[in-house]
Amino acid sequence: MKISQLSLGVVTGIGGFLEAGSIATSAQAGAVFRYQLIWAVVLATAGLVLLTEMSGRLAAVSKRALTGAIRERFGFPYFMIVLVVGLVLSFLVLATEIGAVATALQMASGISYRWWALPIALVGWLLLWRGTFSVVENSSAMLGLISMAFAVGAVMMHPHWGEVASGMIPTLPTHDRANYWFTAVSIVGASISPYLYFVYSSGAIEEKWDESYLSGNRITAVFGNGMGGLLSIAVLVLAGLVFEPRGIKVEHYQQIAATLTPSMGHWGFIIFVATLAITAFGATVEVMLAAAYMTAQGFGWEWAEDARPREHARYSLVYTVLVLLAAVPLVIGIDPFKVTNFSMAISAASLPVSVLPLLVLMNDHELMGDHRNGWLSNAVLVLFGVLSVVLLLVAIPLQIMGGGG
């Protein structure tokens, strides 16, 4: 297994899985329901492992990224549905991630997040404009390791591990039922945002994967996303220990910094600010890549992050326009945390658009040959497909009834 392949897995796990949405939803879950919603993180982690492994296998075997394969197999009209949903979701998630980075900088400097939004968008744009895919993935992977502080903090707080383990078994809520299910849906949406596996499959094409990468693909899918899932659980556990006994609901990113201060003191605050900024910025760049990849692959444009922007001008134009538009709501003063709650629910609702086509693609003999899904993979993917449809049906009603708390 090559180091570059491992980096791509870590980028997906930390720069994607653990980011503003996962940190916020996990903290909200722990603050209100203690450990009861750990099962939702475990379920989402398993789903993302499945989707990431399949999208990587699809790219390695068929030499097609996921969006391109959907366009080819299902035609242009369906691709346009995927594209419109993907771009709307990318806009919302980008606003979430830029807002989280801006909030972290506000916590560090005292300057309002509104003044940071546009500079962050420009730095993200500059990284993609001037950088290569390997620069993006390796920097995100290495810097994102600071988020391991959540795991360290959780261990230092000495939770009752039996109670933590019991949270892996789904239980019915005893209070705030609408908020419980809304938070569960938000956790799934935060953890399995489609941009994660779109970027993963496109990155596999960028790095010219072939069938020799398949075993490494399985390892990186499990390792990267498993690490992200464990860190999300650590955030939830810390919030359960710090906020739930005091009846404190999480309504701002600034509150979540308190999860690390009991075990690490003032350094906990500093580490949280750095973690929020780094992971959210990594996700910012990843969402920009996903939107550009998706659009270029579907329309048949030339695309490659390693190429000069003028060589693939339309590809570069997509992420340029999108990141600037995503900064606008923050500049005019929309609360980044409210954007997070809304975008995570919409992310969950969007899953059927990409999950159901993947089931067809992974059983296409022409595309996959001997590497098609087996019966067990199909059974699990069908179950997850059904879950994605359920999430589509319930996400918006729960947004209205639960409201994120």
| Global pTM value | 0.90
The winner for highest mean pLDDT among 6-15, 235-244, 331-340 is: 235-244
d(CA 44, CA 191): 6
Residue 370: is its pLDDT beyond 80? yes
Do residues 300 and 315 touch, judged by C-beta distance below 8 A?
Answer: no
Reported CATH class of domain 3-402 = mainly alpha
pLDDT score of 273: 95
Model confidence pLDDT, tens digit, residues 147-159: 889 999 999 999 9
Residue 397: is its pLDDT beyond 90? no
Burial class from Cβ neighbours inside 10 Å (0-12, 13-18, 19+) for residue 302 reads exposed
Helical (H) or strand (E) element with 252: none
Q: Which residue from 22, 66, 2, 20 is spatially nearest to 227, judged by alpha carbons?
A: 22
For 244, the token pair is 């739930």
Domain ranges of the chain: 3-402
Do residues 380 and 50 touch, judged by C-beta distance below 8 A?
Answer: yes
d(CA 11, CA 86): 20
d(CA 195, CA 232): 18
Q: Which residue has the tokens 């999950």?
A: 355
pLDDT score of 339: 87
Q: Quickly state the pLDDT bin for 269 (edges 50, 70, 90).
A: very high
Residue 55: is its pLDDT beyond 90? yes
Compute the CA torsion angle 260, 264, 269, 274 (nearest 10 deg). Answer: -90
Residue 235: is its pLDDT beyond 90? yes
